[in-house]
Amino acid sequence: MSAVAVKMDTMRTVPLGTTGLEVPNVVLGVMRIGESTDDEVRTLVRTARDAGIDFFDHADVYGPEVHGCEERFAEALQLSSSERAEITLQTKAGIVREGPYFDFSYEHIIESVEGSLRALRTDYIDILLLHRPDALVEPEEVARAFDELEEAGKVRAFGVSNHTPRQIDLLRTAVRQPIVANQLQLSITHAPTIAHGVASNMVGLEQSVTLDGGGIVDYCRINDITVQAWSPFQAGFFNGVFLDSPDYPELNAVIDRLAKVYDVPPIAIATAWITRHPAGMQVVLGTTTPDRVTGAAQGSDIPLTRAEWYELFRAAGHRVP
Ligand SMILES: NC(=O)c1ccc[n+]([C@@H]2O[C@H](COP(=O)([O-])OP(=O)(O)OC[C@H]3O[C@@H](n4cnc5c(N)ncnc54)[C@H](OP(=O)(O)O)[C@@H]3O)[C@@H](O)[C@H]2O)c1
């Protein structure tokens, strides 16, 4: 049982890979701002900044058109160069929407980054992630693109998303720069990367099957790669949030009870389930509702006990054998 009610008003930071940078452990993803007005974008970003979030997650493919959300963000904010320097801009390359297919070729990576620089109206991207593994990847081509982008000062750090341990090892055969982050889908209800380890060595239990090549979260901890959790409140793959969902009565009962214990909104408990993990993960919020950003930010540093963390995990339907 939690001994004390703790109310956090500061954002906890975590190391970003081996960069030496300390970054907030709750960040704002802007995949869904494509149709937002200038005022809505400004209010959302101002609310995030007030909560200690100065890290924004983009991708070339977000928005009604390619580079659409990057453009919406930059156009609405009209950042001066000193304001630009105050924030961390992360974006992604590697998905071709028409198809769809994945493309980690030298030409595609360079073209995508040039497009992101233009859309974001900036000279540099802080972190570039390879968005989804390309089955036809040539590590030497990725290395050539990364070297050129780094030497030109256009990208400062590099990472991946949705990658398995072996896929990262393969990139590392040629890529010189450290892989600083791996962005993975992770919420209490969608947690295969964590749940399989809890059920390891069990026979006939679907949860014990590793779909990711095995132990990606442990691999990231061992190799100083920051895990970034995307869709932190979605029940599954873009099928609606579990918060207040009638499909998850037991989970919401536990979330609501813990929200009272810690004197925070329920969304903060769902956030804390991720920030409490000792890997030092970042939670990538996708909401466009300012109040939800403020509420989620309160989950940055809630010291859930082991009993509470596992209770949430079990209430979401996972087995603890
Ligand atoms: N690397 C990848 O492959 C990948 C894939 C997908 C996303 N991402 C990144 O992850 C970010 C987050 O993804 P996501 O938007 O799917 O995550 P999310 O934060 O779990 O979901 C946010 C969505 O749920 C809605 N929502 C409804 N009720 C809510 C509630 N009670 N609390 C919070 N949200 C509620 C929000 O609506 P309102 O906006 O109306 O609040 C919004 O549409 C994206 O912006 C993107 O940066 C990465």
224-261: per-residue pLDDT in tens?
Answer: 999 999 999 999 998 999 999 999 999 999 999 999 99
144-201: per-residue pLDDT in tens?
Answer: 999 999 999 999 999 999 999 999 999 999 999 999 999 999 999 999 999 999 998 8
130-146: per-residue pLDDT in tens?
Answer: 999 999 999 999 999 99
**Partners of 179 in the β-ladder:** 158
Q: Contact, 274 vs 281, CB < 8 A?
A: yes
**Partners of 303 in the β-ladder:** none
Residue ID of nearest Cα to ligand 1 atom 16: 231
Q: What pLDDT score was predicted for residue 7?
A: 41
Tell me the pTM: 0.96
101-123: per-residue pLDDT in tens?
Answer: 999 999 999 999 999 999 999 99
CA–CA dist 129, 111 (Å, integer): 14
From the centroid of its chain, how far is CA 103?
21
**How close is the Cα of 286 to the center of ligand 1, in Å?**
3
**Partners of 283 in the β-ladder:** 26, 229
Residue ID of nearest Cα to ligand 1 atom 42: 287
**SS (HEC) of the chain:** CCCCCCCCCCCCEEECCCCCCEEECEEEECCCCCCCCHHHHHHHHHHHHHCCCCEEECCCCCCCCCCHHHHHHHHHHCCCHHHHHCCEEEEEECEECCCCEECCCHHHHHHHHHHHHHHHCCCCEEEEEECCCCCCCCHHHHHHHHHHHHHCCCEEEEEEECCCHHHHHHHHCCCCCCEEEEEEECCCCCCHHHHHHHCCCCCCCHHHCCCCCCCHHHHHHHCCCEEEEECCCECCCCCCECCCCCCCHHHHHHHHHHHHHHCCCHHHHHHHHHHCCCCCCEEEECCCCHHHHHHHHCCCCCCCCHHHHHHHHHHCCCCCC
CB within 8 A of 293, min separation 6: which ones? 28, 44, 47, 48, 51, 53, 285, 287
The C-alpha R_g of the chain, in whole angstroms, comes to 19
**How close is the Cα of 238 to the center of ligand 1, in Å?**
8
Architecture of domain 13-315: Alpha-Beta Barrel (3.20)
**How close is the Cα of 233 to the center of ligand 1, in Å?**
7
The full set of domain ranges for the chain reads 13-315
37-83: per-residue pLDDT in tens?
Answer: 999 999 999 999 999 999 999 999 999 999 999 999 999 999 999 99
Pocket, ligand 1, Cβ cutoff 6 A: 29-32, 57, 131, 161-162, 183, 230-234, 241, 243, 267, 284-289, 292
